[in-house]
């Protein structure tokens, strides 16, 4: 992957006291620092509106960020060395004069990373104020955290604003799913193994499933989530990005634009949905009281910040197609939900049935390749094999590759990997402006279609796998969700 060696970096995190900073950004930077992956000279500057002194910020680091570092990776010495490079500055993102305080903190010859871990409604203020304060240099990169808009118009507005100050080579639209080791392994699995290429297409592939299921509900994010919903929060970005990697043609190289050009072709090839398609091929759901892992869970409408008359979905399952020769008539099933039975992120490639069974009354399951992106980080190929004994009875078996047992080295967290790529100037795992707009152009008509249909989300018990209609959706194609096999 292209990139340059960097000797010095200044990382400025807007939203420096936020949940993302505490849970992901600072722990990831700590691990990179501990393992010697950061440049020799670096500084992290967290900024926000809190009027904190050094003691207040130290409390934030110790009480809010440190608990998200796994015990086996933590040491007092390493934490102290890392936090000595992290400072706090009070700054109102909307006030241009506040940016003058950043000038003396930034080294003129260092790579500058501005990470916008904040609401996208503030992006324009930050971008223009960085520019007016003279903080943009040829070595500057700007990282935009999702959600990147709420529809196509707002996504275009964000792209227009950031492009007025920064070149596309400086812009890093982050989707942390692309930083997951197993998502990247999809590229290696597909294009590094000749045995898969003849099979990775219609009619050998019968269907493709992409599932991201969470056991947690909306928690403290109720107000934000109710204005967003599962379609905007997960499918428009995470699941579509994974679909692109599954479905794209081989890029000429791992050059950022070579990979992203192929992803764009997939997004442009997604079958547009008519209102009739939306009514037939999508299922919306909302969780109601139930149990997750034996713990009682209240329903979505009982969560803090959720209006009683909310029609926001917490679950979506849908069927789509990629209109190319490789994937002609192959259904792609996307599914995501909150308060579900298991925490799972996986891709399932369902291969076609054998044309003729010679095993009498044996019940055959067709072969499937299961790539687990979250939970056990594994790849499993499900096959049929003969049972021991005199008869010729067959049953399912699997060949498994597990990251944890196959590699001894620590796997970088998604944000850790992506932050290092930003520092080194590697854009392959980041979303380009046209990708963002193409994803919204496909997703927005579905959201608008739901409004026209006027149907409320179907209830599903917390701790289940979603509404029964989601199973019926995939069963129409003679398929089943992976956990139902």
For the stretch 86-117, pLDDT in tens is 999 999 999 999 999 898 999 888 999 999 99
- 484 pLDDT exceeds 60? yes
Q: Does domain 178-408+430-484 have CATH number 3.40.630.30?
A: no
User: Looking at the predicted structure, is the pLDDT value of residue 2 above 50?
Assistant: no
The single residue listed with the structure tokens 């960097």 is: 6
pLDDT score for 409: 67
343 is in an annotated binding site: no
Residue 163 makes CB contacts below 8 A (sequence gap 6+) with 171, 433
Q: Tell me whether residue 321 is annotated as binding.
A: no
Question: Quick one: 390 exposed, middle or buried, by C-beta within 10 A (0-12, 13-18, 19+)?
Answer: exposed
Q: How far apart are CA 363 and CA 378, in angstroms?
A: 26
Cβ contact 477:262 at 8 Å: no
pLDDT at 3 over 60: no
DSSP 8-class letter at 246: H
Residue 318 contacts residue 334 (beta carbons within 8 Å): yes
- Which of 86, 8, 72, 11 has its CA nearest to residue 415? 11
Residue 367 has pLDDT above 90, yes or no: no
State yes or no: is 238 an active-site residue. yes
Torsion, Cα 169 172 173 177, to 10 degrees, reads 120
Q: Which one is predicted more confidently, 194 or 409? A: 194
Q: How do beta strands 295-297 and 368-374 pair? A: unpaired
pLDDT value of residue 1: 42
pLDDT of 32-74, one tens digit each? Answer: 999 999 999 999 999 999 999 989 999 999 999 999 999 999 9
Tell me the mean pLDDT in the region 434-461.
96
Pair of tokens at residue 399? 């060949």
Q: Bigger pLDDT: 400 or 343?
A: 343
Distance of CA 213 to the CA centre of its chain: 12
Q: What is the pLDDT of residues 208-265, one digit of tens each?
A: 999 999 999 998 888 889 999 999 999 999 999 999 999 999 999 889 999 999 999 9
Task: Look at residue 294 and give its three-state secondary structure.
Answer: coil
- Rounded to the nearest integer, the mean pLDDT of the chain is 91
How confident is the model at residue 364, as a pLDDT?
52
Is position 125 annotated in a ligand binding site? no
Token pair 């590759």: residue: 401
- The secondary element (H helix, E strand) that includes residue 383 is strand 378-386
**Per the structure block, which two tokens stand in for 268?**
């442009």
The reported pLDDT for the residue numbered 119 is 86
The residue with greater pLDDT, 197 or 475, is: 475
Query: Is 214 labeled as ligand-binding?
Result: yes
Between the CA atoms of 101, 103, 104 and 110, what dihedral angle is there, to the nearest 10 degrees? 140
Answer whether 428's CB lies under 8 Å from 40's CB.
Answer: no
Per-residue pLDDT tens for 171-214?
999 998 888 887 888 888 889 888 888 899 999 999 999 999 99
φ, ψ at 330 (rounded to 5°): -90, 120
Tokens of 373: 């992106």
**What phi and psi values does residue 226 have, to the nearest 5 degrees?**
-65, -25
Residues 6 or more apart in contact with residue 302 via CB below 8 angstroms: 289
Strands in 229-330 per DSSP E: 282-288, 290-292, 295-297, 315-321
pLDDT at 365: 60
Residue found by looking up tokens 């003396």 in the block: 104
**Is 104 within 8 Å of 2 (Cβ atoms)?**
no
C-alpha dist (Å) from residue 200 to 46, 263, 328: 45, 16, 12
If you average pLDDT over residues 118-137, what whole number do you get? 93
Class of domain 8-145: alpha beta
Q: Which residue has the higher pLDDT, 406 or 462?
A: 462
Task: Sort strands 205-213 and 171-173 into parallel, antiparallel or unpaired.
Answer: unpaired
CA dist list (Å): 308 to 268, 302, 330: 38, 8, 40
- Sign of the Cα pseudo-torsion (18, 237, 287, 209, in order): negative
Q: What is the number of helices (H) and of strands (E) in the chain?
A: 16, 17
CB 177 within 8 A of CB 414: yes
pLDDT for res 391: 75
313 is in an annotated binding site: no
233 labelled binding-site residue: yes
Name the residue ranges covered by the structural domains of the chain.
8-145, 178-408+430-484
Q: Look at residue 4 in the predicted model and tell me its pLDDT.
A: 62
Out of 33, 125, 238, 366, pick the active-site residue.
238
Residue 22 φ/ψ, nearest 5 degrees: -70, -45
Q: Is 146 annotated as a binding residue?
A: yes
**CA atoms of 309 and 385, how far apart (whole Å):** 53
- Give residue 358's pLDDT: 76
């Amino acid at each position: 992957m292209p990139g340059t060696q960097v000797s010095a970096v200044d990382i400025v995190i807007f939203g420096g006291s936020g949940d993302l900073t505490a849970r992901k950004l600072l722990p990831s930077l700590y691990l990179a620092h501990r393992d010697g992956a950061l440049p020799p000279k670096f500084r992290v500057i967290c900024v926000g509106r809190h009027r904190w002194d050094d003691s207040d910020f130290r409390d934030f680091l110790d009480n809010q960020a440190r608990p998200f570092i796994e015990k086996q990776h933590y040491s007092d010495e390493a934490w102290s060395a890392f936090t000595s490079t992290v400072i706090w500055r009070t700054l109102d993102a909307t006030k241009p004069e506040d940016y003058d305080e950043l000038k003396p903190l930034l080294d003129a010859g260092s790579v500058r990373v501005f990470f916008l871990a904040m609401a996208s409604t503030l992006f324009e203020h930050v971008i223009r104020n960085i520019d007016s304060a003279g903080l943009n240099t040829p070595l500057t990169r700007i990282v935009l955290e999702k959600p990147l808009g709420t529809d196509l118009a707002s996504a275009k507005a964000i792209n227009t604003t950031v492009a007025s100050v920064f070149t596309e080579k400086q812009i890093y639209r982050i989707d942390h799913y692309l930083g997951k080791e197993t998502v990247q392994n999809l590229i290696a699995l597909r294009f590094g193994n000749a045995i898969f290429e003849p099979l990775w297409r219609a009619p050998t592939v019968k269907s493709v499933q992409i599932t991201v299921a969470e056991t947690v509900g909306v928690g403290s994010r109720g107000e934000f989530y109710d204005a967003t919903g599962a379609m905007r929060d997960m499918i428009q970005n995470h699941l579509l990005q994974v679909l692109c990697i599954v479905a794209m043609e081989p890029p000429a190289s791992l050059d950022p634009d070579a990979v992203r050009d192929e992803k764009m072709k997939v997004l442009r090839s997604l079958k547009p949905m008519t209102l009739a398609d939306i009514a037939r091929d999508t299922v919306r759901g909302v969780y109601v009281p139930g149990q997750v892992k034996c713990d009682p869970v209240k329903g979505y409408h009982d969560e803090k910040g959720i209006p009683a008359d909310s029609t926001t979905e917490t679950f979506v399952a849908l069927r789509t197609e990629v209109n190319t020769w490789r994937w002609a008539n192959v259904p792609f099933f996307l599914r995501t939900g909150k308060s579900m039975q298991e925490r799972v992120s996986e891709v399932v490639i369902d291969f076609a049935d054998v044309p003729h069974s010679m095993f009498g009354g044996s019940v055959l399951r067709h072969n499937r390749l299961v790539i687990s992106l979250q939970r056990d980080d594994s790849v499993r190929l499900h096959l049929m094999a003969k049972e021991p004994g005199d008869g010729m009875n067959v049953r399912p078996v699997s060949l498994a590759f597990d990251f944890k047992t196959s590699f001894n080295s620590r796997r970088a967290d998604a944000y850790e990997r992506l932050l290092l790529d930003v520092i080194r100037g590697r854009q392959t795992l980041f979303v380009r402006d046209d990708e963002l707009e193409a994803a919204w152009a496909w997703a927005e008509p579905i959201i608008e279609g739901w409004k026209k249909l006027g149907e409320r989300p179907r209830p599903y018990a917390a701790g289940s796998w979603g509404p029964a209609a989601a199973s019926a959706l995939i069963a129409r194609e003679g398929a089943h969700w992976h956990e139902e096999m």
